[in-house]
Amino acid sequence: MSDILHKKAKLVMFLRSQGIMRPHILSALERVPREAFVPRALVAHAYENVSLPIAGGQTISQPFIVARMTEALEINKRHRILEIGTGSGYQAAILSHLCRRVYTMERLRPLMVDAENRLRSLQVSNVTFRYGDGYKGWPEAAPFDRIIVTCQSERLSDILVSQLKVGGILVAPVGVTGHEELIVVKRTEDGADVKTLMPVRFVPMLKGTEQ
């Protein structure tokens, strides 16, 4: 246990050195046990700043990217957030400490079931799961204060932007594979303002669902 705490403290120091300074985000990263979200064989690497493979050919993003995307959302405790791409459930767990409710979607049923069980075991109660096609979003629960997409698409989804409140923020990796950039979209009364944060690399966003 002391080894894990040491590695976690070292990671938080690294994130600070990379400009992640908001205390509530660093606190959420400290509170969520990343070792619970990675395969057992990779637990020793849980607090390294690297992405790691999980089931279904997916990955858990490197902690810096999780922190940077979370920071870009500008979350407060009143917000309702839609996440596209549940994966291991790690990003949803981080968000759960920062907002009122997380709605998270996953197209791979086994991943969603595992993530739901994992968050339940961690006593996270403000995350709602849905097995479905992320391209369609979650219209019944819209509009959302914030939307985060954790998989790459070639262009910004008009459907997802339409499910964002005016003044809301969407963060997503967009671009052709190998040339993705993390973008931040703020919905306005007459459209959307878009800015680019940094180059990134994510698994692709696929249409439909898989059992």
Convert the pLDDT of each residue in 9-34 to its tens digit.
Answer: 999 999 999 999 999 999 999 999 99
What is the pTM assigned to this prediction? 0.95
Domain-wise residue ranges, the chain: 2-199
pLDDT value of position 2: 78
Q: Is 109 left (phi over 0), alpha (psi -120 to 50) or beta?
A: alpha
Does the pLDDT at position 191 exceed 90?
no
Residue 172 amino acid letter: A
pLDDT value of position 197: 95
Choose which CATH entry (2.60.40.1180, 3.90.105.10, 3.40.50.150, 3.40.50.261) describes domain 2-199.
Answer: 3.40.50.150
pLDDT value of position 170: 98
Which of these is catalytic: 2, 27, 51, 61? 61
Q: How many CA atoms lie within 13 A of 10 on its CB side?
A: 11
Q: How confident is the model at residue 1 (pLDDT cuts 50, 70, 90)?
A: low
Residue 166 amino acid letter: V
Which residue in 162, 137, 150 sits closest to 68, CA to CA? 150
pLDDT value of position 211: 64
For residues 115-129, give the mean pLDDT.
98
Sort 62 into a burial class: Cβ within 10 Å, 0-12 / 13-18 / 19+: middle
pLDDT digits (tens, 9 = 90+) for 34-85: 999 999 999 999 999 999 999 999 999 999 999 999 999 999 999 999 999 9
All residues at 6 or more sequence positions from 13 whose CB lies less than 8 Å from its CB, including other chains: none
Q: What is the DSSP string of 5-48?
A: HHHHHHHHHHHHHTT---HHHHHHHHHS-GGGGS-GGGGGGTTS
By percentage, how much of the chain surpasses pLDDT 90?
87
Residue 205 amino acid letter: M
For residues 163-179, give the mean pLDDT.
95
Q: How confident is the model at residue 204 (pLDDT cuts 50, 70, 90)?
A: confident
What phi and psi values does residue 124 have, to the nearest 5 degrees?
Answer: -90, 120
Instruction: Give the mean pLDDT of the chain.
Output: 95
- The reply to whether 2 belongs to the active site is no
